[in-house]
DNA sequence: TCGTATCTTTACCAATTGGTAAAAAGCCAG
DNA sequence: CTGGCTTTTTACCAATTGGTAAAGATACGA
């Protein structure tokens, strides 16, 4: 029965050591290339090079280029939303928002490729992530916006539109990863994440202090 | 002398009516496609389709794909920096900054493709725009940052890092164009540029009021 | 209206791309 | 140590890509 020779469509038995190692290598290499060149700008040969495998060998582990991309996006979605999930509804509102901001800056610093991968995907209209936005992102954002609206109604935060607040936090924090090329030119190469922490702390403190 | 058959390398004489019309069509079509798919994701056939011309005809007007892209970037640079150039050093500081913010939001609304074209280019490391950043953007930003620093020293604005302030204005305003796909999902399709104006006005007023 | 310069089309390439078939090699349990 | 699985390599495609050559059509001033 040579119908399913590759692990892609195999039974859900534990993948072998080699499989885990090589899939990891492929995803790591793919993240590097996709985040820099976007989906269409990336070739399987580049991924294969980066992973130290041959192109057909890549296609032994993944059904095709698109599956690699979608796998990356799926695997990353959770980590990406974690900082927002970590907002504690029982905490002190201003603290919770500020801590969210600082976590997001740290993600920009620690995971710039992941940030650019998402940025690329959204920029191009989220063609391979539409469902994820609806089912993963939207409910979480709705909840968070409602939570913030509640805090504002209780007088524990200054009055702002919660959704635009969230947009502004995403924009300002991810900017440092996504537009790094520009930031580098203007800061003359100095890593200025400390400056970002300080500035954004001031920004959201002044905006939100009740 | 069939050595320079095309207008690309022709003498600087006034281009013909047909040339002006077709170059404009090509650039318009190219802006549409480049801004959506990035440089490598765009094909000459797509541009040719959008422009209503054949591929070889495109290459009669431009030496190649890269020249089209660079031409777009160059042509747009001025318009892109105009809002910052329009900041009046003699004006009331808070007013000047707020008007800059509102102009940038309007550019996001009016020219989303241009915004995404730049975003794509920067995301990928600005490979075709490095010099422009150094010679066009950097001096202007340095001047503006110095101007803001002066205003702060005079006590006419609250203390903030001018460069990070500029980053945050870019990030928050361009977000609405660059990440439109995400914004659309979360606002359920409603055009919310009015909300953006109101939110960012509040944000920067509270941040900067002396 | 005629001839020249401008513009457009047709017919191609060579290189690259995502992907496949199938043989060869490696691994490992019995 | 061997037979059957997994993994990798080799040798290919067909489609797409950016780009070219050169013939053909068109505009337009004299």
Q: Work out the number of other CB atoms within 10 angstroms of the CB of residue B143.
A: 14
Angle at A11 between CA A6 and CA A13, to 5 degrees: 105
The boundaries of the domain holding residue B171 are 69-208
The candidate with the shortest Cα–Cα distance to A25, out of A50, A55, A57, is A50
CATH number, position B117: 1.10.357.10
Indicate whether A79 and A42 sit together in one domain.
no
pLDDT digits (tens, 9 = 90+) for A12-45: 456 767 788 999 999 999 999 999 999 999 999 9
- Best of B36, B136, B170, B185 to disrupt the A interface (most A CBs within 10 Å) is B185
In the predicted structure, residue B210 carries a pLDDT above the cut 90 = no
Q: Do A119 and B119 touch (CB under 8 A)?
A: yes
Q: What is the mean pLDDT of residues B174-178?
A: 98
| A187 interaction partners in chain B (CB closer than 8 Å) | 163
pLDDT digits (tens, 9 = 90+) for A146-157: 999 999 999 999
SS3 A6: coil
Per the CB < 8 A criterion, the answer to whether A115 and B123 are in contact is no
Indicate whether A131 and A33 sit together in one domain.
no
Per the CB < 8 A criterion, the answer to whether B182 and A126 are in contact is yes
The shortest C-alpha distance from B22 to chain A (Å) reads 27
The last residue of a domain, from among A14, A39, A62 = A62
In the predicted structure, residue B9 carries a pLDDT above the cut 90 = no
Indicate whether B58 and B75 sit together in one domain.
no
A125: nearest CB among B36, B165, B172: B36
The pLDDT score that the predictor gives to residue A14 is 62
Write the CB contacts of A136 (distance below 8 Å, at least 6 apart in sequence): A77, A81
The pLDDT score that the predictor gives to residue B130 is 80
Indicate whether A178 and A84 sit together in one domain.
yes
Closest residue by C-alpha to C1' distance, nucleotide C11: B56
In the predicted structure, residue B46 carries a pLDDT above the cut 90 = yes
The last residue of a domain, from among B46, B62, B78 = B62
Q: Which residue has the higher pLDDT, B154 or B10?
A: B154
CA quadruple A145, A150, A154, A160: dihedral, nearest 10? 20
In the predicted structure, residue B190 carries a pLDDT above the cut 90 = no
> Which residue of chain B has the CA closest to A125?
B181
Per the CB < 8 A criterion, the answer to whether B69 and B39 are in contact is yes
A175: nearest CB among B138, B171, B200: B171
SS3 B153: helix
Taking all residues of chain A, what is their mean pLDDT, rounded to a whole number?
Answer: 92
Q: Do A195 and B116 touch (CB under 8 A)?
A: no
Indicate whether A79 and A25 sit together in one domain.
no
The pLDDT score that the predictor gives to residue B71 is 96
pLDDT category, A10, cuts 50, 70, 90? very low
Token pair for B76? 């747009």
Nucleic strand D within 7 A of Cβ A43: no
Indicate whether B83 and B23 sit together in one domain.
no
The pLDDT score that the predictor gives to residue A130 is 81
Indicate whether B106 and B153 sit together in one domain.
yes
The last residue of a domain, from among B32, B62, B92 = B62
Q: Work out the number of other CB atoms within 10 angstroms of the CB of residue A31.
A: 22
pTM comes to: 0.92
Portion of chain B with pLDDT greater than 90, in percent: 84
Q: Can you give the distance from the CA of residue A49 to the C1' of nucleotide D30 in angstroms? A: 64
The pLDDT score that the predictor gives to residue B67 is 97
- Best of B169, B179, B197 to disrupt the A interface (most A CBs within 10 Å) is B179
pLDDT digits (tens, 9 = 90+) for B48-65: 999 999 999 999 999 999
Indicate whether A2 and A88 sit together in one domain.
no
CATH number, position B55: 1.10.10.60
pLDDT digits (tens, 9 = 90+) for B87-134: 999 999 999 999 999 999 999 999 999 999 999 999 999 999 888 899
pLDDT category, A132, cuts 50, 70, 90? confident
The pLDDT score that the predictor gives to residue B2 is 32
The candidate with the shortest Cα–Cα distance to B37, out of B120, B130, B148, is B120
The pLDDT score that the predictor gives to residue A198 is 97
Indicate whether B86 and B188 sit together in one domain.
yes
Nucleotides on chain D within 7 angstroms of protein Cβ = 6-11, 16-22, 27-28
A123: nearest CB among B119, B165, B168: B119
The pLDDT score that the predictor gives to residue B18 is 72
Indicate whether A54 and A87 sit together in one domain.
no
Q: Which residue has the higher pLDDT, A191 or B109?
A: B109
Q: Do B206 and A158 touch (CB under 8 A)?
A: yes
Indicate whether B26 and B96 sit together in one domain.
no
φ, ψ for residue B172, nearest 5 deg:
-70, -35
A172: nearest CB among B141, B171, B182: B171
Indicate whether A148 and A84 sit together in one domain.
yes
In the predicted structure, residue A6 carries a pLDDT above the cut 80 = no
| A119 interaction partners in chain B (CB closer than 8 Å) | 119, 123, 178-179
Q: What is the mean pLDDT of residues B70-83?
A: 95
Total structural domains within chain B: 2
Token pair for A38? 């976007």
Nucleic strand D within 7 A of Cβ B65: yes
């Amino acid at each position: 029965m040579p119908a399913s020779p590759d692990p892609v469509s195999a039974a859900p038995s534990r993948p072998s050591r080699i499989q885990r190692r090589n899939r990891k290598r492929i995803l790591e290499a793919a993240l590097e290339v996709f985040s820099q060149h976007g989906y269409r700008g990336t070739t399987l040969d580049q991924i294969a090079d980066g992973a130290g495998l041959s192109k057909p060998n890549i296609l032994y582990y993944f059904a095709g280029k698109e599956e690699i991309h979608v796998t990356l996006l799926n695997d990353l979605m959770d980590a990406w939303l974690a900082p927002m999930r970590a907002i504690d509804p029982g905490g002190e509102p201003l603290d919770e928002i500020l801590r969210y901001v600082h976590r997001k800056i740290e993600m920009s610093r620690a995971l710039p490729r992941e940030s650019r991968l998402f940025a690329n995907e959204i920029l191009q209209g989220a063609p391979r992530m539409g469902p994820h936005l609806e089912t993963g992102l939207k409910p979480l954002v709705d909840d968070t916006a409602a939570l913030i609206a509640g805090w504002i109604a209780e007088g524990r935060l200054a009055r702002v539109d919660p959704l635009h607040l969230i947009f502004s936090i995403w924009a300002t924090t991810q900017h440092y990863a996504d537009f790094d090329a520009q930031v580098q030119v203007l800061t003359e190469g100095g890593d200025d994440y400390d400056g970002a922490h300080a500035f954004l702390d001031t920004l959201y403190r002044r905006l939100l202090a009740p």
